[in-house]
Amino acid sequence: MHEKPVNHVNDEIDLLDIIRQLWQGKVIVFCVSIVFLAIAGIYIMLATPKWTAESTLSKPYLNQLANYPAGVMLSQAWPMNEGDNTPAIDGEKTTSNVFNTFVATASAQILSGINISIRPGATADTYIISSTANDPASAKENLQSALMSLRDETRKQLDASMYSSLRERANSLKIQMQAQENSAKAQRDYRVSVLKNALQLAHQMNIQQTKLNPVSGEISDDMLFMLGVPILNTMIEHEKNLPLKFNASYFDMQEMFASINGFKLTGDNLSIFNATNISVDKVGQKRALILVLSLLLGVILSCGYILLRNALRSANK
């Protein structure tokens, strides 16, 4: 038997054949590319120009924060037993907190759809905020409106955060003062109880006149009954009417508590940021990029058309 030769089909793409096909259809490639370039040129001429207004923002100075730093001190400082050791305000931290709150608010508003953008500036702790519109007046107006809205929203957040911290601070002070008051009352009640026990013993022993000689120093609790009934009655009434005894820290906390309750944040004078003058510039169209992309798209589509057409013709033969 004779074996028939097997013809292997070469599935590899012949690069030279593709080049030949494209060269034969060069007129189509040229015409389609010209059409796409013309469309791109018309778009460039008819496209509405855009204008961008932008301003560089930086942190406020400490003296621009009205009485906000005072509120921070009230919400964070703790008086000590030895006196008021209130730390000095950290100006850098305070101004950074205010500015970072503004940046976070702006970022959240951008995510919700507000027509602005914000990006880090050329120097540390600065940001560039911008707005784009079809004319320079609208771009500037939109940016001014956005800055005012963001400023007011940031003030509201700072106000809410401040009063929340002050309430927590006041509650903590109230608990501490109440603990000292309870301790002072317990000490007074104990002293009255000791005197009443001595009075009861003096009644039982019918001691009307003091049996003690005047001596320096305090009388021990065990010997109080020797003072006699009249003196003990007087001492009990006197002890009941004495004001409670507190240490210096109690009065520090009391003063702090009153200051917190009387504190009111003057938000209208609170500067959230420092801003440069708003500059408005025309957004330059990337004409070269548009033309290159349109030419590339025209070449790709025309080449694809030529190769597909020739493939269909070959399949039909």
Q: Is the domain of 37 the same as that of 51?
A: no
Residues 181 and 306 in one domain: no
- pLDDT reported for residue 187: 92
Closest CA to 76 of 64, 90, 62: 90
Tell me: do 20 and 157 sit in the same domain. no
Domain-located, residue 118: yes
Asked if residues 129 and 52 have their Cβ atoms less than 8 Å apart, the reply is no
Q: Is residue 200 situated within a structural domain?
A: yes
pLDDT of residue 88: 64
Regarding whether 297 and 177 lie in a shared domain, the answer is no
Alpha helices in the chain (DSSP H): 15-24, 26-46, 68-76, 91-111, 136-204, 229-241, 248-261, 287-316
Output the six-digit token pair for 15.
């690069």
Sign, CA torsion 181/182/187/192 = positive
The confidence score (pLDDT) of residue 111 equals 77
Structural domain range at position 32:
15-46+284-316
45-84 pLDDT, tens digit each: 776 778 899 999 999 999 999 899 988 888 876 554 444 5
pLDDT at 102 exceeding the cut of 90? yes
Number of domains within the chain: 2
> Tell me, what CATH number does 168's domain have?
3.30.1890.10
212 & 311 share domain: no
pLDDT class of 86 with cuts at 50, 70, 90: low
Whether residues 144 and 205 share a domain: the answer is yes
Tell me whether residue 5 is in a domain.
Answer: no
